[in-house]
A and B are shown apart, each in its own frame.
Chain A
């Protein structure tokens, strides 16, 4: 199980959600790897070198290779992040851009424009995210962040991969009770895995 946490603060409401998830997961016999992208200083910008050498072996990109190992190892992937401007923070988008690359997440046969899945090890994708705005506003915006995961990334995972979406809308206006309810839901989800 791979848990990717993305928030600039070590302590935040999102980190509380992460901790409750981990508490829930500890009830089962899972092997859990946790990645904290900010804490480890992950660089989100795909470099010119990486773009030019997108088909080169991963050994030439050590920081990417390390993440690729986790990605190809996990059976379930859980992303924990705040939704900003209706999608993932740039830091997490950069993790998709740099780690979910050719040879790791997919293959692109010569002369084709359709990618072939490689991450058939991933059978479950879950997202735990907070939104500042309401569900209505997010619906107007078309939930692009949700679709990056449930439509774009899922294509390269196992064909029967299930996705679970656990959002908290209007975080800024949520009271203690609503926050606690959300955290409980996250922990329950962790136990159910």
Chain B
């Protein structure tokens, strides 16, 4: 499969980067073609600009070359893997912005004659999310895990009903031990090898 790995953490020595590396290696070892988008390293701009907003419903909503490149990758991929730390129960702004700017009309969906949104990501067979959380599991469930909702449910409305979903969560990261982190990386490798 072709797999798009979207990673969002400012520090290259972060646990999130370690997860991304491990996931990418496991996928490549299985013969998948992995396209890595390290959003911070690419200097991706999170905020949709006024020009982009103005072009949004124009039929050619993409005006930034980097966004155009990412949109082509989305169109060609079989699976998307998001790797990010959960902040304020959601995705970091840079990843939320990636969704807003890249998954535009013509890429993720289109409007039909009645102005209703119709799915455009039917070719994506798998959506995977791997995230770290400061809080414990119960607390995350209580707050609602809003990044997961965005990646799962909101994106789901634009993929196919057959699209499979996998979520890997590492809770209470601030108080975790080296052993727990190593065990989680092993789990990431195992899950990605079986993707």
The interface of chain A, by Cβ under 8 A from chain B, is 8-9, 38, 44-48, 50-52, 84-91, 93-94, 96-97, 100, 108, 111-115, 132-133, 137, 140-142, 144-145, 147-148, 151-153, 155, 172-173
**Cβ-defined partner of B157 (8 Å) among A90, A108, A141:** A141
- A96, B90: Cα distance in complex, Å: 10
Whether B49 contacts A8 by the Cβ 8 Å rule is: yes
**Cβ-defined partner of A89 (8 Å) among B48, B54, B146:** B48
Whether B90 contacts A144 by the Cβ 8 Å rule is: yes
11 contacts between A and B (CB under 8 A): A8-B47, A8-B50, A86-B153, A88-B96, A89-B48, A90-B97, A91-B93, A111-B175, A113-B136, A140-B157, A153-B88
Contacts of A153 in B (CB 8 A): 88
- A29, B11: Cα distance in complex, Å: 46
Task: Name the 8 nearest CB pairs between A and B, nearest first.
Answer: A90-B97, A94-B93, A144-B146, A152-B89, A48-B10, A8-B50, A144-B149, A90-B46
Is B135 on the interface with A (CB-CB < 8 A)?
A: yes
**Cβ-defined partner of B89 (8 Å) among A86, A91, A148:** A148
Size of B's binding interface in residues, CB under 8 A: 46
Contacts of A137 in B (CB 8 A): 157
CB nearest to A147 among chain B residues: B144
Contacts of A115 in B (CB 8 A): 134
CB nearest to A49 among chain B residues: B10
Q: Given the interface contacts A113-B134, A141-B153, does A45 sit within 8 Å of B46 by beta carbon?
A: yes
Contacts of B48 in A (CB 8 A): 8, 84, 89-91
**Cβ-defined partner of A46 (8 Å) among B93, B99, B117, B146:** B93
Whether B117 contacts A48 by the Cβ 8 Å rule is: no
Nearest CB on B from A158, distance (A): 18
Is B124 on the interface with A (CB-CB < 8 A)?
A: no
CB nearest to B85 among chain A residues: A51
Is B184 on the interface with A (CB-CB < 8 A)?
A: no
Contacts of A87 in B (CB 8 A): 90, 96, 146, 150
Whether B40 contacts A148 by the Cβ 8 Å rule is: no
CB nearest to A140 among chain B residues: B153
The interface of chain B, by Cβ under 8 A from chain A, is 9-11, 14, 40, 45-50, 52-54, 87-94, 96-97, 99-100, 103, 115, 117, 134-136, 139, 142-144, 146-147, 149-150, 153-154, 157, 172, 174-175
CB nearest to B51 among chain A residues: A8
Q: Given the interface contacts A45-B46, A113-B135, does A90 sit within 8 Å of B94 by beta carbon?
A: yes
Q: Given the interface contacts A84-B100, A94-B93, A147-B143, does A112 sit within 8 Å of B175 by beta carbon?
A: yes
Whether A51 contacts B10 by the Cβ 8 Å rule is: yes
CB nearest to B48 among chain A residues: A8
Q: Given the interface contacts A45-B46, A173-B115, does A147 sit within 8 Å of B94 by beta carbon?
A: no
Whether B154 contacts A144 by the Cβ 8 Å rule is: yes
Contacts of B45 in A (CB 8 A): 45
CB nearest to A98 among chain B residues: B93
CB nearest to B101 among chain A residues: A90
| Candidate in A8, A93, A172 with the most chain B CB atoms within 10 angstroms | A93
Nearest CB on B from A174, distance (A): 11
Whether A85 contacts B149 by the Cβ 8 Å rule is: no
Contacts of A142 in B (CB 8 A): 144, 146, 149, 153
Whether B11 contacts A151 by the Cβ 8 Å rule is: no
Whether B99 contacts A85 by the Cβ 8 Å rule is: yes
Q: Given the interface contacts A51-B11, A90-B94, A100-B88, does A45 sit within 8 Å of B40 by beta carbon?
A: yes
